Amino acid sequence: MAALATIAVLVFLLGFAGVTWQSQRASKARDLAQGRLYESLVREARATRTARRVGYRDEVFTLLQQARALDVPQKNITELRREAVACLGDFVGLTPLTLTDFPSNTTLGVVHMDPTWSFAAFSLSDGTLLLRQMPSGTESAGCLWPIRPGAIASMRLGTRSHRSMRRIPGRQHAENSFSGP
């Protein structure tokens, strides 16, 4: 009977050691996979930024946030910040915004964005001035101001550096122009 109890204890101890060993192997494999995922996310963010597809910045920021959220020893916050900062000055990285719900019987005149890109003012050929919130494009309260047609040659919102657009004769779109303070 004592021999049977000894064998049972031995089998239990061997089983426990095997489970512990497997748990450690699984933990190491998980850590290795997390590390490789981190490196992959950083490389993908860099490749996306380098490719410079229109509107890439949101995708790069998402990848960098995923990499930052991982708990890995090789996490390099400085490298993640450097990748994020490299996207900031590139206008190609901005997500395009298309506004299509203008009155059909008018054409676009002068367009101006305020310095914070929170509002845009649009002058139309019928003399209407539209003020819209960005990036949603929703009209602000009391935004339709009738003005004599052709009276607006240029406009500016805010008092600091600004971004404005002007209508290109014969075309249906506007051209960006940037100026400092």
pLDDT digits (tens, 9 = 90+) for 89-130: 788 888 888 887 888 888 887 787 777 777 888 877 777 778
Note whether 65 and 81 are within 8 A (CB). Answer: no
Beta bridge partners of 162: 179
Give the range among 58-67, 150-159, 167-176 with minimum mean pLDDT: 167-176
Task: With a cut of 50, say whether residue 138 has pLDDT above it.
Answer: yes
The mean pLDDT of 7-30, rounded to a whole number, is 74
Q: Quote the distance between the C-alpha of residue 72 and its chain's center.
A: 24
Q: pTM, whole model, 2 decimals?
A: 0.57
The mean pLDDT of 126-144, rounded to a whole number, is 72
Percent of the chain with pLDDT over 90: 29
Confidence of residue 141 (pLDDT cuts 50, 70, 90): very low
Task: With a cut of 80, say whether residue 37 has pLDDT above it.
Answer: yes
pLDDT digits (tens, 9 = 90+) for 42-60: 999 999 999 999 989 999 9
| Mean pLDDT of the residues in the chain | 76
Give the range among 24-28, 71-75, 76-80, 141-145 with minimum mean pLDDT: 141-145
CB atoms within 10 A of CB 38: 22
Task: With a cut of 80, say whether residue 168 has pLDDT above it.
Answer: no
Give the range among 5-14, 19-28, 32-41, 155-164 with minimum mean pLDDT: 155-164
Strand order in the sheet with 162-167: 145-146, 128-133, 119-124, 108-113, 162-167, 174-179
CA gap 77, 2 in Å, rounded: 60
Phi, psi of 72 (to 5 degrees): -130, 150
Confidence of residue 38 (pLDDT cuts 50, 70, 90): very high
pLDDT at position 67, please? 96
For the stretch 80-105, what's the b/e string if a residue is b when 16 or more beta carbons lie within 10 angstroms of its beta carbon?
A: beebbebbeeeeebeeeeeeeeeeee
